[in-house]
Amino acid sequence: MAEKAFKYVIIGGGVAAGYAAREFANQGVNPGELAIISKEAVAPYERPALSKAYLFPEGTARLPGFHVCVGSGGERLLPEWYAEKGISLILNTEVVKVDLASKTLISAAGETFKYQILIIATGSTVVRLSDFGVQGADAKNIFYLREIDDADKLVEVIKAKKNGKALVVGGGYIGLELSAALKINSIDVSMVYPEPWCMPRLFTSELAGFYEGYYANKGIKIIKGTVATGFGTNENGEVTDVKLKDGRVMEADIVVVGVGGRPVTKLFKGQVEEEKGGIKTDGFFKTSVPDVYAVGDVATFPMKLYNEMRRVEHVDHARKSAEQAVKAIFSSEQGNSIDEYDYLPYFYSRAFDLSWQFYGDNVGETVFFGDGSPTSPTHKFGSYWIKDGKVVGAFLEGGTPEENKAIAKVARVQPPAHSLDQLATEGLTFACKI
Ligand code: FDA
Ligand code: NAD
């Protein structure tokens, strides 16, 4: 089969690939120089839409509506945009073999691609219940959500099982966003997760208390402190019930699983240095191999603000790391340099009429502020994280754009916290003064 050669190749066609493509165009890439190789069938899109408006019964998001870069208020890059720029969008193509030494990639169909500079943007894949040997985990109507094909299957089952029962396994991002989306579609929803409260990797017990109360008021049943250990099926192999470790059995027509993601690094094992489960990079997203960069979910990079190597599985970093890598590539080609990546962590979520943002680091002591009653009509509240006498992280539910900017500034500036009681009393006013 013919070999194709490009100056620059991006493996992966997700968020980071799309934002990288826009930056390549900004930097004046020549037609024919750049290829994006993606196993997905569509041009890069804003993945966060899949667990939100893609599943709504009204105001539904569909492509081409949410191609990158609309999620950050930018231009929408339709497939035609890539063609106009002379960027090869090689879709439905999974890279199955990589040889970084000879700069060669091989696809599942046996095509060979050569590159001079490679950007790894393979993102994450879902952790599966079958990975922990849960009995019956391959039954029909057990769903995961990562790519648009997965979201299409969910849309189909939501239609097919109108007024049915769903069990959502996992109390993280997918668990909370999918439970809300299913409930909005009039499905009877229960959630099950092992921890004492939802989203434990970010939420304090007070923050989680609000969301659990709010979900319960919407009619979502929450079962904590246990896990799914097996699934019952009917004669068609479709799931009918879920067995829990605590002995309970829950009826279910649909099971949605969100028990975490895992960076897609397998193709590169043994060829590039790894750290903390990701591909190790510097502040320009260069890996240990010359001419190879890694961005988005797969990169473990120096988080300058905290003087620590970290990996981040969120969209804002996918966008910004991709732009940083492309700027670094062009500046080094021109013999110039750019500043090292200096990232302020930013995570957000939306479900029902709720919307929160978090900036910074969730370490140290915490202070809750505002009205955290699940029945309050305003539901505006938040939390600060205080370490070594400084405010290092801030969370806000229901903030205005100005208020969200204020908490972002707090996390970046890290002002001193003289008294935790005073912080709790001042609440959002503290952030707005910085
Ligand atoms: P991403 O996963 O976007 O792209 C990876 C691409 O590589 C995919 O196209 C994949 O098919 C392709 N690929 C992998 N291996 C390949 C191979 N061997 N050959 C070819 N192609 C290959 N974050 C946030 O901050 N707020 C939010 O609201 C959400 N919401 C959200 C919803 C859902 C459903 C998911 C799954 C994730 C989110 N996220 C999020 C997380 C965010 O979407 C995620 O961090 C970014 O998409 C990461 O961007 P990447 O480009 O690194 O990977
Ligand atoms: P997650 O890490 O947010 O949550 C996983 C949850 O599953 C945790 O509560 C965990 O304790 C629980 N869990 C683990 N094992 C379990 C088991 N055996 N049974 C029941 N629960 C179990 O991961 P996720 O929600 O699956 O999200 C996957 C990826 O998608 C992540 O990278 C995430 O950042 C991303 N995502 C982000 C957003 C957002 O930022 N708004 C939205 C959706 C997805």
CATH of domain 3-125+262-333: 3.50.50.60
Low-confidence ranges of the chain (pLDDT < 50): none
pLDDT on residue 402: 97
Out of 3.50.50.60, 3.40.50.2300, 3.40.190.10, 1.10.1660.10, the CATH code matching 129-259 is 3.50.50.60
So what's the ipTM on this one?
A: 0.98
Render pLDDT for 87-110 as a digit per residue (tens, 0 to 9): 999 999 999 999 999 999 999 999
Q: Which atom of ligand 1 is nearest to the CA of 317?
A: 45
pLDDT on residue 377: 85
pLDDT on residue 122: 99
Q: Which atom of ligand 1 is nearest to the CA of 44?
A: 9
* CA–CA dist 385, 155 (Å, integer): 38
In 176-332, the DSSP E strands lie at 188-193, 221-224, 228-233, 239-244, 249-251, 254-257, 261-263, 274-275, 278-280, 292-294, 299-303, 308-311
Render pLDDT for 134-178 as a digit per residue (tens, 0 to 9): 999 999 999 999 999 999 999 999 999 988 999 999 999 999 999
pLDDT on residue 1: 67
CATH class of 353-433: alpha beta
Instruction: List Cα–Cα distances, 283 to 4, 121, 123, 148, in angstroms.
Output: 31, 16, 18, 31
Ligand 1 center from residue 109 Cα (angstroms): 23
Q: Which ligand is nearest to the CA of 315?
A: 1
Ligand 1 center from residue 316 Cα (angstroms): 11
pLDDT on residue 2: 74
* CA–CA dist 314, 279 (Å, integer): 16
Ligand 1 first shell, C-beta below 6 A: 11-17, 37-40, 47-48, 50-51, 94-95, 121-124, 145-147, 264, 267, 296-297, 313-316, 318, 347-349
Which mutation among 19, 37, 47, 264 tests ligand 1's pocket best, with the greatest number of atoms within 8 A of CB?
47
pLDDT on residue 230: 97
Q: Which atom of ligand 2 is nearest to the CA of 199?
A: 9
Give the residue, by CA position, lying nearest to ligand 1 atom 32: 48
Residues forming CATH 3.30.390.30 domain(s) in the chain: 353-433
Helix residue spans in 196-263 (DSSP H): 205-217
pLDDT on residue 354: 97
Ligand 2 first shell, C-beta below 6 A: 51, 124, 169-175, 177, 193-195, 227-228, 258-261, 313-314, 347, 349
Residues forming CATH 3.50.50.60 domain(s) in the chain: 3-125+262-333, 129-259
Which mutation among 122, 199, 298 tests ligand 1's pocket best, with the greatest number of atoms within 8 A of CB?
122
